[in-house]
Structure 1
Amino acid sequence: MVVTTESPIRVFLVDDHRATLWGLERLIDSAAGRMRLVGSATSMAELLSSPDSREADVIVLDLDLGGLDSSTSLADLQRTLNARILVLTGARDLDVHRRAVLAGARGVVRKEEPVDVLLRAIEKVHEGDVWVNRALIGDIMDMLTGARPADDEHSARIASLTPKEHEVIAAVVRHRGAKSLIIAEGLGISEHTLRNHLTVIYHKLELHGRLDLYVYAKEHGLGAADQ
């Protein structure tokens, strides 16, 4: 009879708060036999320069490192390292979680979750599963199966829009070519408030002006219900 034992999951931790990092290290140590801490870092640069990160099976990465969004570096991490990335965040916004997964994270755990949730998430991600909020399961499954490869990026952007921003887009489509004052009056807001809404919308949809917004809205059916 041959008895085989599974190797512990090699975990690397990244968090810019040393007290939090210390607690995470103790948590992984408490799961000895199931997991093994191979290293830790307090910045993205430190992570990438650490030889220990090359040994990791799972990297637990704080999404907010020194005020910077770590999800913007996930593509570089995937090209450089073989580990699966599990994001740890204090954000409850599902759009933040969605962006992290679309950028390459295999899972998202909120910092307020019980510690055993993080341990289970590490195990599941190591096994090849995805660990996300239930509300995102459908989106993530579509992404992994390739059901909507061309639309994933646009879907994530559009999903980030608020009801008020949808209303503003509908007004822009409805009053194509009209002056801002007319659009603002139709919405019952000031021109200044309209400009603020449009600035946020342009940023979310990665557009450069009202003409771009009009074309984008027509292509993706935004504001159609108000036509």
Structure 2
Amino acid sequence: MPVGHAHSIKVHLVALPLIRWGLEQMVRGAHPQFEVVSTASVVAESLPLLERQPVDVVVLDLDGVDGVEAVADLQARVRAKLLVLTASHDLALLDRVVMAGVRGVVKKCEPPQILLKAIEKVHEGELWIDRGAAGRIFLEMARQKAAQRNDPQKSKIATLTSRERQTIAAVAGDASAPGKVIASRLCISEHTLRNHLTSIYSKLGLSSRLDLYAFATRHSLDKAV
């Protein structure tokens, strides 16, 4: 089966240049099962590439310049399954990225074949995380659901995406700023800002920026995430 076959697993890589080069050589060397469709240094560069040509799996170096919020934003905006590569031993950080929607975590100390296997399994719909992480995440999700049942407002807030929370913080942090200014600060168009606000109003049961400012202040959503 040649590279580019419809049944190959299409991969996008996000890492700083030196790490990205090594990852690309590894994945390309495993053809025809895998195809590196595109690469980028950071999430912001990835989004337009993934909009033009969707892929099956995104492999992201978590030790690069992007934080958990960028990972959550990427997951919210693309259909691809996301797998992260890391040398971190911070269990809380790794749990957060999985809670944000990451389907797999591979440690850099593991053999290259493990990463290739993880890409395959994540593509097939499986989670690639260790049992300890799965147990911690299950308990945290159960705790959050219990808290949401006791507080309807928290339940609404839980439906917000990372990008929507960033939008709320930007709007509430400068309530008098015109939409054009807010959109510029978020590096989005005014049209996209209006779409975000429409979704936010619907989820939170609000009808105006004044309502949003009051809600954000009351629930501490006016701080940058």
Shorter-normalised TM-score: what interval? Answer: 0.5 to 0.7
AA in 2 matched with 1:85? L
Alignment counterpart, residue 145 of structure 2, candidates 147, 150, 158: 150
Please provide the CA RMSD for this pair. Answer: 2.5
Deviation at 1:63, TM superposition (A): 1.1
Spell out, residue by residue over 1:110-139, the C-alpha distance to the aligned partner (whole angstroms, 9 max, x if none). Answer: 111110010011011111111112311223
Are the aligned partners of 2:28 and 2:36 in contact in 1 as well (CA < 8 Å)?
yes
Instruction: Trace 1:26-175 onto structure 2 (pairs within 5 A).
Output: 26-51=25-50, 54-66=53-65, 68-69=66-67, 71-140=68-137, 147-150=142-145
- Are residues 75 and 6 of structure 1, via their aligned partners in 2, closer, same or farther at CA, if it must alter by over 3 Å? same
Alpha-carbon distance in structure 1 between the residues aligned to 2:122 and 2:34: 13
AA in 2 matched with 1:14? V
Alpha-carbon distance in structure 1 between the residues aligned to 2:61 and 2:103: 13
- Are residues 151 and 92 of structure 1, via their aligned partners in 2, closer, same or farther at CA, if it must alter by over 3 Å? farther
SS of 2:122's partner is helix
Percent identity, aligned pairs only, is 41
Deviation at 1:82, TM superposition (A): 0.8
- Are residues 53 and 107 of structure 1, via their aligned partners in 2, closer, same or farther at CA, if it must alter by over 3 Å? farther
Gaps spanning 5+ residues in structure 1: where?
154-227
The answer to whether residue 9 in structure 2 is matched with residue 9 in structure 1 is: yes
Deviation at 1:50, TM superposition (A): 1.5
Are the aligned partners of 2:27 and 2:34 in contact in 1 as well (CA < 8 Å)?
yes
Structure number, greater radius of gyration: 1
AA in 1 matched with 2:117? R
Gaps spanning 5+ residues in structure 2: where?
149-225
